[in-house]
């Protein structure tokens, strides 16, 4: 969080050609021509546009002359709340603008460069949108640090939020056609195949010979149209989740979450539908049969961010599904009113929609008015609220998993903190009242109140408590970036890497907006409360991190873990930088175990089964082509840049002036 000490001015944002002065200080310097600096502002970082010396750079260093008037003109590129603050060496704000939340809007302001200026940041996203200011004749205020917001290497670890943990290596076991892999699942009683979910609309099978030539399922023509979507900003829609029925071997049913185009009855202004569908695979389970789709649930989504997407079966046989709060400005349509003062109440209001929650349904019960049933013990059955809700108070629950009956859910934060929760039935996990265990404010996200409710009012579900997470970490600690968007993982329950045995291994999408994901490990503390944290060191990675954006963490039937990564910020079906990277011991020199042959070795076989020239298995169902009855090519949607899914994750976004990304 950016400190609010040493505040010496407040600049009000204006339209592209309007100027905001800083009192007489600017006026006194009017005889000097202003130097104009043009930037693009989005969560991954400030993008230099002009002058030519900074063009194309991320978080470029601004070289200024003391006493000279400068003008910054910046554009909001991704439609999430941003502002500009000029900081001193102590981290205090010298000048700041108001927040701008509309995509494409520009803000212009003038200021006089002083020797006290050290950095410029977006106060909603200081971990990634942070650059140095170098005053002529002075050493950089962050000399020895990094202009990417990471504040340089920290050899002794004293400035790191998490102590260093075990060192692991990664082995790429699948790449090839992958673009943005974010899910990794195994079917019950099938130890030989792993199913990789690619956000662009395909599910690939990974076997002992790498990736099969043809996808298990291809529904690219049922998703929102990516052809006009931005590739330089995070996109959170797409094929988002996969879960196999516990009795898949017998019934061949599996469940998929994806982002479909708006339907005729979708509320005006909503960008898409979040759809849960049941598919039935072929008799031998090797082809996904896209024509065998049964839509279970369509949820209109107001914004392109905060879609979550995980689906998983619990030990009771019910299907659990994560839903984000809808994203976008909390003042826009699609956000319900709630009991708290902050804008946007989808996480707290459980009566108007199914957003901001973990849902639980019975996919085997088809006897009611809906194509699914409601478990009798769901917490709101017989009470005010939608019966599908299992737990609520979430912003963007990105990836969830079960271990020993416990449900682990990572929830992407807004401006200051990321969190992981162990979720229980009927729990309220705090958003939008709290961010992690800390108070939150949509009006001033970087300066939230020190006190806020710990329970709902008595007339709201009886005054239920707001449950604190088991894990939280800040975006910035001691001037160093810690992360931007949490990526949920799994409990490591094998002994290949002994130091991780029993730890919950998860990660973060990006350290600083660049392709540098992180891996973390959390273990229960001796006392109740938050778990202990360590940052895993990736051998050969930049400063011990991954060399790509982290989209998900998968686990195979043996308990081994895999990092799902991409080099691309947005979603571009034409790119193939996606990788599945297995975590292995640092000192391991053995060959990969069964099923871990790199995709480059993949031939025309799948687990030893011959394929014909088209990739269809001999004697089995034909290869997936997504041409089911009643489905045509989707109409192109206006691209809305974004985040958090593949950036997932996040909405990596924060709230400002009542807005949210």
User: Mean pLDDT highest for which of 20-34, 40-54, 85-99, 249-263?
Assistant: 249-263
pLDDT at position 24: 32
What is the distance between the alpha carbons of residues 431 and 659, in angstroms, rounded to a whole number? 15
pLDDT at position 182: 98
pLDDT at position 191: 87
Question: What is the residue-wise DSSP string for 564-628?
Answer: EEES-SS--TT----EEEEEEETT--SPP-TT---GGG--SEETTEEB-TTSPBTTSPPPP----
pLDDT at position 378: 98
Backbone phi and psi for residue 500, each to the nearest 5 degrees, phi listed first:
-105, -5
pLDDT at position 158: 59
Query: Range with the lowest mean pLDDT among 100-114, 460-474, 583-597?
Result: 583-597
127: left (phi over 0), alpha (psi -120 to 50) or beta: alpha
Between 643 and 511, the higher pLDDT residue? 511
Q: Which two tokens stand for residue 370?
A: 């809906």
The half-sphere exposure of 402 on its side-chain side, counting CA atoms within 13 A, is: 16
* Chain centre to alpha carbon of residue 390: 22
Residues 6+ apart with CB under 8 A from 155: none
Question: What is the residue-wise DSSP string for 348-375?
Answer: T--SS-S-SEEEEEBTT--SSSSSSB--
The helix (H) or strand (E) run that includes residue 645 is: helix 645-648
DSSP state of 26: H
pLDDT > 80? residue 156? no
pLDDT, average across residues 128-141? 76
pLDDT, average across residues 253-279? 96
What is the distance between the alpha carbons of residues 392 and 355, in angstroms, rounded to a whole number? 9
pLDDT > 80? residue 130? yes
Return the exposure string of 65-93: e unless at least 16 CB atoms fall within 10 Å of the residue's CB, then b.
Answer: eeeebbbbbbbbbbbbbbbbbbbbeebbb
pLDDT > 50? residue 451? yes
pLDDT band at residue 252 under the 50/70/90 scheme: very high
What is the distance between the alpha carbons of residues 616 and 299, in angstroms, rounded to a whole number? 34
Between 637 and 310, the higher pLDDT residue? 310
Query: Range with the lowest mean pLDDT among 136-150, 317-331, 572-586?
Result: 136-150
pLDDT, average across residues 212-231? 89
pTM: 0.78
Between 16 and 305, the higher pLDDT residue? 305
Task: Find, among 411, 459, 462, the residue nearest to 437 by Cα.
Answer: 411
pLDDT, average across residues 275-287? 95
Average pLDDT of the chain is 82
Domains, the chain, ordered by start: 35-135 (2.60.40.420), 164-585 (2.120.10.30)
Q: Which two tokens stand for residue 209?
A: 């010979």
How far is CA 474 from each of CA 23, 468, 482, 496, rounded to the nearest angstrom? 35, 15, 7, 30
Contact 208, 276 (CB under 8 A): no
Beta-ladder partners of 169: 584
| Percent of the chain at pLDDT exceeding 70 | 79
pLDDT band at residue 10 under the 50/70/90 scheme: very low
pLDDT band at residue 197 under the 50/70/90 scheme: very high
How many CB atoms lie under 10 A from the CB of residue 584?
A: 21
pLDDT band at residue 138 under the 50/70/90 scheme: low
pLDDT > 80? residue 357? yes
* pLDDT tens for each residue of 515-550: 999 999 999 987 778 999 999 999 999 999 999 999
What is the distance between the alpha carbons of residues 228 and 401, in angstroms, rounded to a whole number? 33
pLDDT > 70? residue 585? yes
* pLDDT tens for each residue of 374-386: 999 999 999 999 9
pLDDT > 50? residue 219? yes
């Amino acid at each position: 969080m950016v400190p609010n000490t040493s505040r010496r001015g407040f600049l009000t944002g204006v339209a592209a050609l309007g100027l905001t002065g800083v009192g007489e200080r600017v006026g006194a310097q009017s005889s000097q021509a202003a130097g104009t600096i043009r930037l693009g502002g989005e969560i991954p970082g400030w993008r230099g546009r002009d002058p030519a010396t900074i063009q194309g750079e991320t978080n470029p260093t601004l070289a200024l002359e003391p006493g000279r008037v400068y003008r910054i003109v910046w554009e909001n590129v991704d439609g999430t709340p941003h502002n500009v603050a000029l900081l001193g060496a102590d981290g205090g704000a010298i000048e700041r603008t108001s927040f701008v939340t509309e995509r494409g809007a520009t803000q212009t302001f003038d200021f006089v460069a002083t020797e006290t200026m050290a950095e410029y940041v977006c106060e909603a996203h200081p971990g990634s949108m942070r650059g140095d200011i170098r005053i002529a004749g002075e050493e950089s205020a962050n000399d020895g640090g990094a202009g990417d917001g990471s504040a340089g290497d920290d050899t002794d670890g004293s400035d790191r939020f998490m102590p260093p943990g075990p060192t692991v290596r990664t082995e790429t076991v699948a790449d090839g056609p992958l673009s943005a892999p974010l899910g990794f699942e195994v079917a019950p009683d099938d130890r030989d195949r792993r199913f990789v979910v690619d956000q662009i609309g395909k599910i690939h099978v990974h076997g002992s010979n790498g990736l099969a030539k043809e996808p298990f399922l291809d529904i690219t023509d049922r998703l929102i149209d990516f052809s006009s979507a931005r590739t330089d900003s995070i996109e959170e829609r797409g094929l988002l989740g996969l879960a196999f029925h516990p009795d898949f071997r017998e019934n061949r049913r599996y469940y998929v979450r994806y982002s479909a185009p708006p339907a005729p009855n979708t509320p005006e202004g909503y960008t898409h539908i979040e759809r849960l569908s049941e598919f039935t695979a072929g008799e031998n389970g090797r082809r996904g049969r896209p024509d065998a789709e049964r839509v279970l649930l369509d949820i209109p989504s107001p914004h392109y961010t905060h879609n979550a997407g995980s689906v998983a079966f619990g030990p009771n046989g019910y299907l659990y599904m994560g839903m984000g709060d809808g994203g976008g400005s909390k003042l826009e349509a699609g956000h319900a009113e709630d009991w708290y003062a902050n804008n946007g109440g989808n996480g707290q209001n459980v009566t108007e929609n199914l957003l901001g929650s973990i849902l639980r349904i019975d996919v085997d019960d088809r006897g009611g008015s809906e194509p699914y049933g409601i478990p009798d013990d769901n917490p709101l059955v017989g009470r005010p609220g939608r019966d599908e809700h299992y737990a609520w108070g979430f912003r963007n629950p990105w990836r969830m998993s079960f271990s020993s009956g416990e449900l682990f859910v990572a929830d992407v934060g807004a401006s200051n903190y990321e969190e992981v929760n162990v979720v229980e039935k009927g729990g309220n996990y705090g958003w939008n009242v709290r961010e992690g265990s800390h108070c939150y404010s949509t009006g001033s996200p970087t300066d939230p109140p020190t006190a806020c409710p710990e329970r709902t009012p008595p007339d709201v579900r009886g005054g239920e408590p707001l449950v604190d997470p088991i894990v939280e970490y800040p975006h910035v600690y001691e001037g160093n970036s810690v992360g931007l968007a949490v990526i949920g993982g799994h409990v490591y329950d094998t002994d290949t890497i002994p130091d991780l045995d029993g730890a919950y291994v998860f990660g973060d999408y990006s350290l600083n907006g660049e392709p540098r994901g992180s891996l973390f490990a959390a273990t229960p503390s001796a006392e109740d409360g938050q778990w202990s944290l360590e940052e895993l060191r990736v051998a050969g990675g930049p400063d011990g991190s991954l060399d790509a954006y982290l989209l998900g963490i998968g686990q195979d039937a043996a308990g081994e873990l895999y990092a799902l990564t991409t080099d691309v910020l947005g979603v571009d079906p034409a790119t193939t930088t996606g990788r599945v990277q297995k975590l292995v011991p640092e000192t391991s020199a053995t060959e990969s175990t069964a099923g871990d042959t790199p995709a480059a070795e993949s031939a025309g076989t799948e687990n030893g089964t011959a394929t014909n020239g088209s990739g269809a298995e001999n004697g089995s169902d034909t290869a997936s082509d997504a041409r089911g009855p009643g489905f045509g090519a989707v109409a192109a949607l206006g691209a809305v840049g974004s985040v958090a899914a593949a950036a997932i994750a996040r909405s990596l976004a924060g709230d400002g002036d009542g807005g949210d990304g």
